[in-house]
Structure formats: C-alpha cells, structure tokens
Amino acid sequence: MIDEQIFRKLAEEALDQLRRALENAGDTYGFEVDSNQGALTVEFDDPPARFVVSPNAPVRQIWVSARVKSFKLDWDEVRSAFVLAADHRDLNQLMSDVVGEQLGETVTL
C-alpha cells in the first residue's frame, strides 16, 4: 500500500485532471461538475442522476458512485493511474463509460 501523503497527492492530481476533462465534456453534453472538499460531483438533468468521485485515504482508493454501482480504483504504479481491478479501466476511461451510458452516447474524456 502506498504512503498516505503520496496517495493524497496522486489522488488530488487525478481528480483535478478529471475535473477539467469533465467540465469540458459538460459544456458539450450539458451536465454540471462541482468540486467540494476533494470530491467531484457530476449532475445530470435528463435523465436526472448524480455521480460522485472521491478519494478514500484510509484504503488508498478512489471511489466512484455512478449508475447505482460503486467502483473502487487502486493506484497502478506501472500505468501511473488509478485503475479498476475488475477490468483494468483507468479513472478517465471508467468515467467516460459511465457518463456515456448516462447520456446514451459515446463520450471521451
């Protein structure tokens, strides 16, 4: 398990990059992105939904709650990214997929 300070730095960088990508996509696709106390919230009007992306320092994971599912991503040193163990998607790919499913179209972040 990586050191907590290192995790916090890596998570902050990953979430900041994701926030910028989501804000750009939100301008195109019409959803809102908010950052509050280190967590990101993505809100959709039609159909209504709310996704939350947050760091969980005690277990050194980034957690994503989206489309009535919970995803837990671990740091992958080789890929230098937070990755979902089940299918090896990184944070941006996972969010591209769940946002695209919500909107009913392909979204690339």
* Residue bearing tokens 């009535």: 68
In terms of Cα–Cα distance, which of 98, 93, 104, 86 is closest to 18? 93
pLDDT band at 87 (very low <50, low <70, confident <90, very high): very high
pLDDT above 80: residue 84: yes
**Burial level of 25, CB count in 10 A (0-12/13-18/19+)?**
buried
What's the pLDDT score for residue 95? 98
| pLDDT over 80 (residue 93) | yes
- In the chain, DSSP assigns E strands to 32-36, 39-45, 48-56, 61-66, 69-76, 81-84
Residue 1 has pLDDT above 80, yes or no: no
- Going along the chain from its start, the domains and CATH numbers come out as 4-103 (3.30.920.10)
